[in-house]
Amino acid sequence: MIKEIKFTDNAIKQINHLLSQKDNKDFFRIAIKGGGCSGFKYDFSFDKNPQKEDLKFNNILIDKASADLLKGSEVDFVSELIGDSFKISNPQSKSSCGCGVSFSL
């Protein structure tokens, strides 16, 4: 179970909405991957099969390595002038790029 990551009501509502639109996709996966102009980026995808090492919260999956990097974070879904998106406030992030897509630790 994912205890040290907070999900806002807006994030949970949007995840449930997205999953209701997908056929044969039972889970919403959040991961941290290498890339972007600052070194790391958040990755959001759908997954049918949880892996053995995945941490699970309702219908959300996070691999153990990503969960460690997300510890203390808040996942939200926001509507801004540039569009709707998931936003992660990560206290472990030291800096982020100008577009807000990638970050460094």
Give domain status of residue 99, yes or no: no
Range of the domain at 80: 6-91
Q: What is the CATH number of the domain that holds 39?
A: 2.60.300.12
Q: Check pLDDT > 90 for residue 12.
A: yes
Please give the pLDDT value at position 103.
Answer: 58
Give domain status of residue 47, yes or no: yes
Q: Check pLDDT > 70 for residue 36.
A: no
Q: What is the pLDDT of residues 44-65, one digit of tens each?
A: 999 998 999 999 988 999 999 9
Please give the pLDDT value at position 55.
Answer: 93
Tokens of 105: 């630790």
Report how many domains make up the chain: 1
